[in-house]
Amino acid sequence: MESIWSKTCNIPPRGALRGNVETEVAVIGAGMAGLLTAAALQKAGKQVVVLEANRIGSGQTRYTTAKITAQHGLFARKRIQALGEDRARRYASANLAAVEAYRALIRAEGIDCELEETNAYVYGDDRRQLEQEAEAEARLGLPASLVRDPDIPGGAAWAVRVERQAQFHPLKFLKAVSEPLTIYEATPVRRVEHHRLLTASGTVRAEHVVFACHYPFVNFPGLYFARVHQERSYVLALENARCPDGIWIGAESGGYSFRRYGDLLLLGGGGHRTGENHAGGHYEALRMQAARWFPDSREAAHWSAQDCMTADGAPYIGPYAKSRPYWYVATGFEKWGMTGSMVSATLLCDRICGRENPYAEVFTPGRLDAEAVRAIAGEGGHAIKGLTKQLLQLPIEQAEQLPRGHGGIVRLHGKKAGVYKDENGVIHAVDVRCPHLGCQLEWNPDEKSWDCPCHGSRFDFRGKLISGPAQNELKWPCAQSMDF
């Protein structure tokens, strides 16, 4: 699965960490959040080292649609409700400032990343809903207005337009941002003990540690597992498909997202909680919609990704936990991680440099209001369901019964196992207990992967870790692949 971004940009490889180093700041993760934060700190005069488990930009950032906007879908009334008007206004101001910060950085450094200024829209048919959203966005300081009959595939009655937002090529941007930074690739951080980061090939000692690894993988302290889950969605890049100007997202759940990249239309949709894709068919559903709207289109690429979602819809950016004042986190971007990453860079740089920031309190991970507590209780419910399944649910299939090309939970040699039978009839068996906190993994037929419904860890059918919070591969209870 390659996105249009990774097909059109090569970032030169970096070596892995060898031995022990000391630095002022260690950043874990070379995605959009980690690299922007590292770059801001380095410019502020700090000595920074970035540790990346795989390659620069190889996490979720490689699969984004890279819209840079402070209009986060149908967000304004929801944020006012969850955060109160004053904090919601600061949330919006921080994101508007992030859009400007991209523009300024790209201009100042002459970064060739195909930045285009454009309008952002959220569209739908419910006039009252969109009128109220336009009014709320304007109250929060966005240049928002209501538009009638927007010209988009499938049509819509109304849209809220926010002017002067942007889109770009995220990996070309990261390539330029990463150039002056000290980055160790293929260096997963296994453990963090206060100021020491342990990897298989060396240790980093740092005054400050930034967790920009998408989902924070240290469970205690912080308890992020109780307040962050992940949601996936799917993208098709289409040739020969008419694309409206601007960046678009549907107001209704199940709505579609559109943007243009060169001659391609990027059509997104099919969001769901990671680990809850039992029936699959998300790419097929998008393809059917594309065939209806653009019968002459051709698919140039398809991909999917996931992002971290928080209890109140605002990211967690700031100190990791009270007991670790020298650890920081940037997570929970709710599929708006381009501006979220820039907000993280500004807030964390100010914090580490000892400067006040007017937006810090809105994003602080230490916040806990009534809405958040309710959502946390909901997360607990999901975890209990996942754990109960692991303990009590009996396998429903025998390996012999699985058709080729399918996966499922079966009884194999007297044990519960996750099994994928490939097109040649070879069985690949893994332990379906998630190494993060033990929930039962679910088969994802679209990606041929094992996904965790609790916090969204993913593994390929051989058990190799795709993304965390889990940090280990799946064990092989039956330790084999065999023919059936």
Ligand X SMILES: Cc1cc2nc3c(=O)[nH]c(=O)nc-3n(C[C@H](O)[C@H](O)[C@H](O)COP(=O)(O)OP(=O)(O)OC[C@H]3O[C@@H](n4cnc5c(N)ncnc54)[C@H](O)[C@@H]3O)c2cc1C
Question: Which is it for the CA torsion 445, 446, 449, 451, positive or negative?
Answer: negative
> Could you say which residues in the range 366-405 bind ligand FES, by CB under 6 A?
none
Question: Which is it for the CA torsion 340, 345, 349, 350, positive or negative?
Answer: negative
Give the span between the Cα atoms of 127 and 392, in whole angstroms.
Answer: 48
Give the span between the Cα atoms of 23 and 206, in whole angstroms.
Answer: 5
The binder of ligand X chosen from 113, 213, 243, 409 (CB under 6 A)? 213
The binder of ligand FES chosen from 454, 465, 474, 478 (CB under 6 A)? 454
307 interacts with ligand X by CB under 6 A: yes
6 interacts with ligand FES by CB under 6 A: no
3-state secondary structure of 70: coil
339 interacts with ligand X by CB under 6 A: yes
Of the candidate spans 55-63, 364-372, 414-422, 474-482, the one that interacts with ligand X by CB under 6 A turns out to be 55-63
37 interacts with ligand X by CB under 6 A: no
Structural contact between residues 39 and 212, judged by C-beta atoms closer than 8 angstroms: no
Q: What is the largest CA-CA distance in the chain?
A: 63
Q: Before 403, cis peptide (omega within 30)? A: no
Q: Which residues contact 313 (CB under 8 A, 6 or more apart)?
A: 75, 78, 79, 82, 334
Give the span between the Cα atoms of 11 and 14, in whole angstroms.
Answer: 9
Q: Tell me, by CB under 6 A, how many residues bind ligand FES.
A: 13
Count other C-beta atoms under 10 Å from residue 28's C-beta.
26
The binder of ligand FES chosen from 51, 311, 399, 452 (CB under 6 A)? 452
**Partners of 450 in the beta sheet?**
443, 459
Give the span between the Cα atoms of 210 and 318, in whole angstroms.
Answer: 9
Structural contact between residues 243 and 167, judged by C-beta atoms closer than 8 angstroms: no
Of the candidate spans 49-57, 113-121, 171-179, 451-459, the one that interacts with ligand FES by CB under 6 A turns out to be 451-459
Nearest residue to 466 via CA among 200, 172, 170, 188: 188
Give the span between the Cα atoms of 114 and 99, in whole angstroms.
Answer: 15
229 interacts with ligand X by CB under 6 A: no
Of the candidate spans 35-43, 56-64, 341-349, 431-439, the one that interacts with ligand FES by CB under 6 A turns out to be 431-439
Going by the DSSP 8-state scheme, the letter that residue 454 receives in this structure is T
Structural contact between residues 320 and 332, judged by C-beta atoms closer than 8 angstroms: no
335 interacts with ligand X by CB under 6 A: yes
Which pairing describes strands 397-398 and 406-412: parallel, antiparallel, or unpaired?
A: parallel
49 interacts with ligand X by CB under 6 A: no
> Could you say which residues in the range 190-229 bind ligand FES, by CB under 6 A?
225
Nearest residue to 117 via CA among 60, 68, 73, 82: 68
471 interacts with ligand X by CB under 6 A: yes
Structural contact between residues 14 and 195, judged by C-beta atoms closer than 8 angstroms: no
Nearer to ligand X, 38 or 430 (CB): 38
437 interacts with ligand FES by CB under 6 A: yes
> Could you say which residues in the range 362-421 bind ligand X, by CB under 6 A?
none
51 interacts with ligand X by CB under 6 A: yes
Q: How far is the CB of 64 from ligand FES (least distance, A)?
A: 21
Nearest residue to 82 via CA among 334, 253, 348: 334
Nearer to ligand FES, 218 or 243 (CB): 218
Q: How far is the CB of 399 from ligand FES (least distance, A)?
A: 24
439 interacts with ligand FES by CB under 6 A: yes
Rg of the chain (C-alpha set): 22
- Give the one entry of ligand FES, ligand X, none that residue 119 binds, where binding means its C-beta sits below a cut-off of 5 to 8 angstroms depending on kind: none
Q: How far is the CB of 159 from ligand X (least distance, A)?
A: 17
Q: How far is the CB of 473 from ligand FES (least distance, A)?
A: 13
243 interacts with ligand FES by CB under 6 A: no
- Give the one entry of ligand X, ligand FES, none that residue 28 binds, where binding means its C-beta sits below a cut-off of 5 to 8 angstroms depending on kind: ligand X
Going by the DSSP 8-state scheme, the letter that residue 461 receives in this structure is T
Of the candidate spans 166-174, 288-296, 399-407, 449-457, the one that interacts with ligand FES by CB under 6 A turns out to be 449-457
- Give the one entry of ligand X, ligand FES, none that residue 434 binds, where binding means its C-beta sits below a cut-off of 5 to 8 angstroms depending on kind: ligand FES
Structural contact between residues 201 and 18, judged by C-beta atoms closer than 8 angstroms: yes
29 interacts with ligand X by CB under 6 A: yes
Count other C-beta atoms under 10 Å from residue 457's C-beta.
29
Of the candidate spans 31-39, 138-146, 345-353, 432-440, the one that interacts with ligand FES by CB under 6 A turns out to be 432-440
Residue with tokens 């990211």: 315
235 interacts with ligand FES by CB under 6 A: no
456 interacts with ligand X by CB under 6 A: no
Q: Which residues contact 441 (CB under 8 A, 6 or more apart)?
A: 275, 418, 432, 433, 434, 450, 451, 452, 459, 474
End-to-end CA distance of the chain: 27
- Give the one entry of ligand X, ligand FES, none that residue 228 binds, where binding means its C-beta sits below a cut-off of 5 to 8 angstroms depending on kind: none
The binder of ligand X chosen from 6, 17, 40, 59 (CB under 6 A)? 59
Q: How far is the CB of 388 from ligand X (least distance, A)?
A: 28
277 interacts with ligand FES by CB under 6 A: no
- Give the one entry of ligand FES, ligand X, none that residue 444 binds, where binding means its C-beta sits below a cut-off of 5 to 8 angstroms depending on kind: none
- Residues near ligand X (CB under 6 A) are 28-34, 51-54, 58-61, 63-67, 188-189, 212-214, 217, 233, 235, 268, 305-307, 333, 335-341, 468, 471
